[in-house]
Structure 1
Amino acid sequence: MDGPQSSDESKVLIIYTGGTIGMLVSKAGYVPEPCFLTETLRSQARFHDPLQDTIFSHSGSVEGFRKWNVNGGSGRSSPSGSSGDSSLGARSPQHVSLPVRSSRPIAVPSARTVKNSQSPPPDQAPTELLDGAYQAHLLSLVTPRLTMSNGKRVRYAVLEWNPLLDSSDLEIEDWIRIATEIELNYQLYDAFVILHGTDTMAYTASALSFLLEDLGKTVIVTGAQIPLSQLRNDAVDNLLGALCIAGHYIIPECCLFFDHTLYRGNRVSKFSSHDLNAFSSPNFAPLVKVGIDIIVNWNDVFRQRSLRRFRIMKHVLTTTLATLRLFPGITAATVKSFLQPPIKGVVLETFGAGNAPQRTDLMNALREACDRGVVIVAISQCAKGAVSPTYATGQSLLAVGVIPGGDMTPECALAKLSYLLSKPELSLAKVRALVGTPLRGELTRSAPPPRRSSDDPAFDGVGGVLSRMIRLAIPDVSANGVPNVTVTSAPGAATPEDEDATASWSLTAKEASITEGALICFLIHLAVAADDVEGLEYCLVAEDKDDNCSERKYRVIAGGVVNWINPASGRPPLHVAALNGSTRCVHTLLKAGALVHLRDSLGHTALYYAARQGHEEIVSTLVSAGANLGGADSGAASLAVQRLMWMGDTAGLRIWKTAGMTVPDQW
């Protein structure tokens, strides 16, 4: 079923590559078993509750549980919370299928082992598409309604690889395969979860962070130390946690979820083979911590500020790479032999903060390789810390052409080097320059210079926020458009001249910062509605452009405020701009990290509102940035197209066609 999507559901595709999470015990140890994982999920109520008739759907309140329990623990009468499934058509909600595409033939289970009151229909046999890809309709699973994020349910399908692979057997070509399957299904799903073995999970997460270019949706890699088949396991928490985050938050990065923690994928390494908290990210704080509450660190969520659509890097990745770990007494002959052709790139694991033995023969071997075109990037053997030219022994590496890799992990440095060397459009000089430049948040950028004060003190701090908010909310409040706002340091300190203008404020620095942040959330909506780019940039820009930097510096809160949904309207700023035709603000919001796939409280995207209002330029801009109609858009857009056809409105039909709707050729 690939019709209208319920506004209180999100669609997630699970790409199951293999790994411990779906294994069974054999005489030879843990081995993967086809179809076991999917059927196990289908049989567990916490992963699949289509009729909302299990305890997980009736334990949100005492009254709900008692009513369900009195009825014998059966909610077949379709509980009141199940209205979301009514939009899915006449088919039984437990039999909803989802389209899935793959670069290889899709294995469809031939038999079902789950004991339901009504046997589910078989999955549709796969068909080959014109572009060489394959498509099948797989029966979907759906979680109970969650108490977080307005009680959404997550509907998902499992695309299982055949054969399933142990992660130690994954090759570089498999990274391309995962990226390709995400690309094929990108417009069909809201997010993606990749089930993977733990041994090489950090390599895959790092590689995907580069292969998935201009990513606008959540991608999470996860797995388990103990398989789902065991009574005591970590598979349930890892998979359910990844599903919940992917289905409820737009974190447009390739992430890794393990042991109640979501990490940036290119920042982690596996540090334990027997602990459940097997991964660590010593140089970068987690993006999400799952405890009693789910805490998202929005300040650190990476935002693409490109106006390009999502795509993947499809070139065959360079495999002529290696990792060389220095050790006391390593000989120049060993290093020279290691750097011989066909090696094109080397990750050099140095001592401490980037130090190496200072022997002349060793340095000459490194210099000769760099001069020959081998790209050598230095990282630290220490798990925590970065390469920096603090010591003279580190400066000598720079002098021979070795590039400092900052605080990149070995897995990330290798993946990034392979990615850059595989791009034919990049010269060797450009590759060297990009190795030490953060592309996906994989290394820590040097600290920015301190913010310069504005020439107009009326616009600094809380006073500036209030001034601009009042100017936008009450037009022509003063002759020059700027009201007289005074910020004082103590109660009652306002002078008689400004008593009519505003009340006095008494705030600590922390209180002022919190107040400013709260007010900016509302101010940004007012600025966008008025297409006031100056007011919008005040909300987003932390400082003026530096003389040596052509890019704007955005506030650390911009990643959150630029997508803040106003509870009064249920819409984020991009939706407001699309509704009001604020073309200039749309460009600014996209550059600041606005999410084109974010939906408002009615389940609509900004693209839908721009097309509905007839703002053709905004529609083109959003489509160029990767937007597509989704969620509750399909049904409403179809009605709009039919109405325009009846009216003979060719201009309106052209806009909807640009937005992605199918319009008959005669129009």
Structure 2
Amino acid sequence: MTAADGVAATVDLNGNFPASPPGSRSKKMVRDGPQPPADPTAVGVKKSGVLWADLDPCDEGRAPTVNGGHADTASGANGANGANGANGANGHHAGHDDGAPDGVPAASDRIDGVLEMLETHPESRVLVLYTGGTIGMVRDQSGALAPLRNRLASRLRSSPTFHDQEYAKRRFGDSDTGPLILPVSSEGRRVLYTIREYDPLLDSSCMGIEDWVRIATDIKAHYEQYDGFLVLHGTDTLAYTSSALSFMLENLGKSVIVTGSQIPLWELRSDGRDNLLVSLLLAGCYVIPEVTVMFGARLLRGNRTVKVSADSLRAFDSPNFPPLATIGINIDVDYRLLHRPKATEPFKVHCKMGSNVGVLRIFPNIPTTAIQSFLAPPLKGAVLQTYGAGNIPGNRVDLLEALREAADRGVILVNCTQCTHGRVAEVYAMGKVLWDIGVVAGADMTPEAALSKLSYVLSKDEWDLATKKEMLRCSLRGELTAPARVLADWDDLDAVVRALGAKPSQTASLLVPAVTCAAAARRGAGPLQAVIDAGADPAAATMEGRTPLHVAAYEGNLEAVRLLLRHGAGVHAKDRFGRTPLVDAVQMDRHEVIAALRGSGAHLGAANPALGDKLCSVAAVGDVQRLESYRLAGTDLCQRDTCGRTPLHVAAQMGRSAAALFLVSSGVDVAAKDLSGLTPAELASAAGHHALANALRSRRSNFCT
């Protein structure tokens, strides 16, 4: 039985849908067609009680249109008699036979099973970029470790820890080409992940700028299709890659985690299993909008990470910054430490990294000729690794003169300490001398971060020399420590916190999100600005995962939305129902808010038949305002549902003239045919909407195929 033969059915799971935030409208859902999406990698349900793919959580729940006592058919032009053909009353009903062989569940049964699974455990999608490294190596005949192509995914698929075969079979059938699926996590989600293996697999000691660009562009190409990203990498240059990516990925709003292992994944004592498993959970279940390194039960900021051991299983450390998350019995994320982009712009990749940079380590009796040769053209920037708090030999006039000459030529010099811990400070005379000749103090940046940042800043042709130096002094991605604001005294609220069974030290984390969300709901930005000025985190989430941006978007508080975006509030944050702020704005038809969120990179996710189903249900009731909300949110109104219909087909069939004309003006093709070979005009005519049919025939559009 084809999708064209399917009969639409009203789906009501136990008569109710999952709870919605206060003020949301009632929910129902129309399900069309018996088949799940053909591309399982495009699947990623984020809220319970929805269809098999990333159904738009802006489900307003219009009741299905009923003609003659039957739910509107999937492809029949006239549902008056439950017919399933273009001729309405003369069509033949397909009944409920899915054509499945004996012993194989019918399509409707499979769909019901999927709905039940997704209602229980929502799904997230993670893209794994396997670049190479020890983690995926196996021993050859000589006992040496070597990477083998097309081995990682197949071996993970056979591991019950990394792939739930029973669920995958129920979810996608017997296919071995679908995504891998983790068992249900303690967070109550399933993580679906797809591995993209690089060819050739690289030893990390061979990694360079061109490889960083490839990783960054792959993330960009799949940014809207996945909830998080994981890079499998060798350990030797992992800190360099994570530092570089942190600068190249501008306005990042999703988790990008880099990990590897000291022992191959398939060895008995491998550290790779925990590193990989926890990385997948973090990327799929948490929104940590940074490039991070997961290693040794700690999640570290990527541009704060250095490799500190060649043979320890805790090979990486973050000397001057605490872990963003620690992994024990629980996964504890310290959201106060997260660095969020402040620019109200969408995610983008900066691929033009400067290569004429280097690191010069000062040592006793370093020859002046060596310094002069190192700083000679074409070098444009250098990281100086100096003694202690940023000092150089004060009695070496020749050394100072060589540095001054380079600075006068426009070479940017960044002063970093050789010490593992601590920062460059101008408390000693020799450190101040470097400042006087134009050397930029690198604070507590690691050499890897300083070099990557220098390469990034030098490639910004739109910045003059003074601006580039100023950017090096500032914290762009949390790579150096800047003064932090702290909240006011919360002692008066300790009694309230104790009543909740929490510790007084948790007062702020428990109460500030609620206060900030309440301020976001107030008219204007004044109350919210006051709360932020007091030190509140503008991205703090309540117990239901609602952030101030969710609340402001839902309430249509445009001033508050703009303020929150300027303070780095994440547009991809999801509440417990899987809704993002953009979903809330679309649900409430907040058009100005939608435009502001889109300007900061918000999106509704990848196109899929389920979203086409939702658009068709909106078109069926003629809700032009909602269609406009979808259009403003970046949704392609040409999307088809599971029966191959565009929203225009449905609007025409239901006689929704205003919606049909809106869709035509938005570029939906009046000549597009559904799986039954019918155009919107033919559906309108068969349903008796002759004026609309004539209007559609008079239009010409070639936007959709």
> TM-score band (shorter)?
0.7 to 0.9
Deviation at 1:512, TM superposition (A): 7.1
Structure 2: distance between partners of 1:154 and 1:506: 35
Deviation at 1:462, TM superposition (A): 5.6
Q: 1:167 aligns with which of 204, 223, 226?
A: 204
Tell whether 2:584 aligns with 1:609. yes
Q: 2:179 aligns with which of 129, 136, 140?
A: 140
Q: 1:666 aligns with which of 653, 664, 667?
A: 664
Deviation at 1:517, TM superposition (A): 4.9
Asked if the contact 2:497–2:504 (Cα under 8 Å) also holds between the matched residues in 1, the reply is no
Asked if the contact 2:416–2:444 (Cα under 8 Å) also holds between the matched residues in 1, the reply is yes
Deviation at 1:28, TM superposition (A): 7.3
Asked if the contact 2:497–2:506 (Cα under 8 Å) also holds between the matched residues in 1, the reply is no
Deviation at 1:251, TM superposition (A): 0.6
Deviation at 1:39, TM superposition (A): 1.2
Deviation at 1:410, TM superposition (A): 0.8
1:24 maps to which residue? Answer: 138
1:412 maps to which residue? Answer: 449
The percent of aligned pairs where both chains have the same amino acid is 42
Tell whether 2:365 aligns with 1:326. no
Asked if the contact 1:252–1:302 (Cα under 8 Å) also holds between the matched residues in 2, the reply is yes
Letter of the 1:143 counterpart? L
2:150 maps to which residue? Answer: 35
Asked if the contact 1:346–1:376 (Cα under 8 Å) also holds between the matched residues in 2, the reply is yes
Pick closer, same or farther for the CA change 1:253–1:3 going to 2, 3 Å.
closer
2:379 maps to which residue? Answer: 343
Asked if the contact 1:51–1:94 (Cα under 8 Å) also holds between the matched residues in 2, the reply is no
Deviation at 1:435, TM superposition (A): 1.2
Pick closer, same or farther for the CA change 1:505–1:423 going to 2, 3 Å.
closer
Pick closer, same or farther for the CA change 1:636–1:233 going to 2, 3 Å.
closer
1:641 maps to which residue? Answer: 615
1:377 maps to which residue? Answer: 414
Secondary structure of 1:305 counterpart: coil
1:63 maps to which residue? Answer: none
Structure 2: distance between partners of 1:506 and 1:172: 52
Pick closer, same or farther for the CA change 1:320–1:267 going to 2, 3 Å.
same
1:259-408 superposed matches below 5 A:
259-315=296-352, 317-358=353-394, 359-408=396-445
Secondary structure of 2:193 counterpart: strand
Structure 1: distance between partners of 2:180 and 2:407: 53
Asked if the contact 2:229–2:255 (Cα under 8 Å) also holds between the matched residues in 1, the reply is yes
Structure 2: distance between partners of 1:614 and 1:412: 43
* Structure with max Cα Rg: 2
Deviation at 1:647, TM superposition (A): 4.5
Pick closer, same or farther for the CA change 1:30–1:529 going to 2, 3 Å.
same
Structure 1: distance between partners of 2:557 and 2:609: 25
1:497-508 superposed matches below 5 A:
none
Structure 1: distance between partners of 2:623 and 2:182: 42
Asked if the contact 2:558–2:592 (Cα under 8 Å) also holds between the matched residues in 1, the reply is yes
Structure 2: distance between partners of 1:243 and 1:4: 14
Asked if the contact 2:44–2:123 (Cα under 8 Å) also holds between the matched residues in 1, the reply is no
Structure 1: distance between partners of 2:370 and 2:387: 17
* Gapped regions of structure 1 (runs ≥ 5): 53-84, 86-90, 96-117, 124-138, 452-459, 464-486, 492-503, 543-553
Deviation at 1:340, TM superposition (A): 0.8
Letter of the 2:330 counterpart? D
1:539 maps to which residue? Answer: 531
Asked if the contact 2:512–2:540 (Cα under 8 Å) also holds between the matched residues in 1, the reply is no
Pick closer, same or farther for the CA change 1:365–1:12 going to 2, 3 Å.
same
1:197 maps to which residue? Answer: 234
Q: Which sits farther off after the overlay, 269-278 or 526-535?
A: 526-535
Q: How many residues align?
A: 523
Secondary structure of 1:343 counterpart: coil
Pick closer, same or farther for the CA change 1:446–1:528 going to 2, 3 Å.
closer
Letter of the 2:579 counterpart? H
Tell whether 2:52 aligns with 1:13. no
Structure 1: distance between partners of 2:418 and 2:292: 23
Asked if the contact 1:94–1:141 (Cα under 8 Å) also holds between the matched residues in 2, the reply is no
Deviation at 1:230, TM superposition (A): 1.2
Structure 1: distance between partners of 2:369 and 2:479: 33
Deviation string, structure 1 residues 388-436 (Cα, Å, up to 9, x no partner): 1111111111122211111111111111111111111111221111112
Letter of the 1:565 counterpart? T
Asked if the contact 2:162–2:183 (Cα under 8 Å) also holds between the matched residues in 1, the reply is yes
* Gapped regions of structure 2 (runs ≥ 5): 1-38, 48-121, 639-662, 666-705
Deviation at 1:642, TM superposition (A): 2.4
Deviation string, structure 1 residues 150-192 (Cα, Å, up to 9, x no partner): x111100000001100000112110011000000000000000
TM-score (normalizing by structure 2): 0.70
Pick closer, same or farther for the CA change 1:339–1:208 going to 2, 3 Å.
same
Structure 2: distance between partners of 1:244 and 1:281: 21
Secondary structure of 1:39 counterpart: helix
Pick closer, same or farther for the CA change 1:296–1:488 going to 2, 3 Å.
closer
Q: 1:518 aligns with which of 504, 510, 528?
A: 510
Pick closer, same or farther for the CA change 1:446–1:328 going to 2, 3 Å.
farther
Tell whether 2:209 aligns with 1:180. no
Structure 1: distance between partners of 2:572 and 2:305: 27
Secondary structure of 1:165 counterpart: coil
Structure 1: distance between partners of 2:128 and 2:587: 33
Q: 1:218 aligns with which of 255, 268, 273?
A: 255
Deviation string, structure 1 residues 370-393 (Cα, Å, up to 9, x no partner): 001111111001111111111111
Pick closer, same or farther for the CA change 1:639–1:536 going to 2, 3 Å.
farther
Letter of the 1:235 counterpart? G
Tell whether 2:657 aligns with 1:657. no
